[in-house]
Amino acid sequence: ETGVTQTPRHLVMGMTNKKSLKCEQHLGHNAMYWYKQSAKKPLELMFVYNFKEQTENNSVPSRFSPECPNSSHLFLHLHTLQPEDSALYLCASSLALASGNTIYFGEGSWLTVV
Amino acid sequence: QQQVKQSPQSLIVQKGGISIINCAYENTAFDYFPWYQQFPGKGPALLIAIRPDVSEKKEGRFTISFNKSAKQFSLHIMDSQPGDSATYFCAALSGGYNKLIFGAGTRLAVHP
């Protein structure tokens, strides 16, 4: 248990569906991240939030829409995804954005797009 | 230049042996090098990390060796155990900003 909780753990969605992934951290951290893990590529950073403000969008397609209502919660809204978007989506957090602050990952949400 | 190259892709070691995973980078601005361990069904977890001002860091059976001039670093797992079977990722970041660049991962299997 890392203190970073992701729901749902598994999600199957059609290409025309709208769904959301939720992340909650109970660590009092101020920075939160979305990473994508797929079989064909290394772990890829998608978005970074610091004190609920987005500081990084790593050229992610607009069909992925993040939302950070407060420092403890992070959402990833999904709309009109493609089969190649099927992957493990990992949420993470750290106390601060500065280098060296340990990043704690959740267990991930397995997404399958059919 | 932002890549971190990791090898081997997979590794099989007998119990009690030494597991060695290697990583190389190009960006000399990288200033923090963590290793993450990931078990099936779990997210990655920080295992050990090093900064380039030291050449080696040891924590229990895990050691990072760092060669700044060669821009390479490696993870050594001494007395490998079946419970060490997992995927290991090296990573790097720079500029005082917590943006991890990951290697492709090494799947380690330790056989009894």
Ordered per-residue pLDDT tens for chain A, 114 residues:
779 999 999 999 999 899 999 999 999 999 999 999 998 788 999 999 999 999 988 899 999 999 999 999 999 999 999 999 999 999 999 998 877 788 999 999 999 999
Tokens of B35: 């290793």
Phi first, then psi: give them for residue A25, nearest 5 degrees. Answer: -120, 140
CB of A82 within 8 Å of a chain B CB? The answer is no
Contact A92 B102 (CB under 8 A): no
Q: Tokens 């924590």 label which residue?
A: B59
Which pLDDT does position A51 carry in this prediction?
A: 93
CA distance B48 to chain A (A): 10
Distance between CA atoms of residues B95 and B112, nearest Å: 43
User: Hey, are the CB atoms on A94 and B46 less than 8 Å from each other?
Assistant: no
Q: What is the pLDDT of residue B37?
A: 97
Q: What residue has token string 């990833």?
A: A76
In sequence order, the β-bridge partners of residue B25 are: B4
In A, minimum Cα distance to B98 occurs at A99
**Residue in A with minimal Cα distance to B49:** A100
- Residues from chain A that touch B32, judged by Cβ atoms under 8 A, are 99-100
In this complex, the residue of A42, A90, A101 whose CB is nearest that of residue B104 is A42
pLDDT for residue B1 is more than 70: no
Partnered with residue A56 across adjacent β-strands are A48
Chain position carrying tokens 């078990």 = B39
pLDDT (tens digit per residue) in B52-105: 899 999 999 999 999 999 999 999 999 999 999 999 999 998 766 778 889 999
How near does any CA of chain B get to the CA of A61, in Å? 19
d(CA B17, CA A33): 36
User: What is the 3-class SS of A3-71, one letter each residue?
Assistant: CEEEECCEEEECCCCEEEEEEEECCCCCEEEEEEEECCEEEEEEEEEECCEEEEECCCCCCEEEEEEEC
CB-based contact A20:A75 (threshold 8 Å):
yes
The whole-angstrom distance between B31's CA and the closest CA on chain A is 8
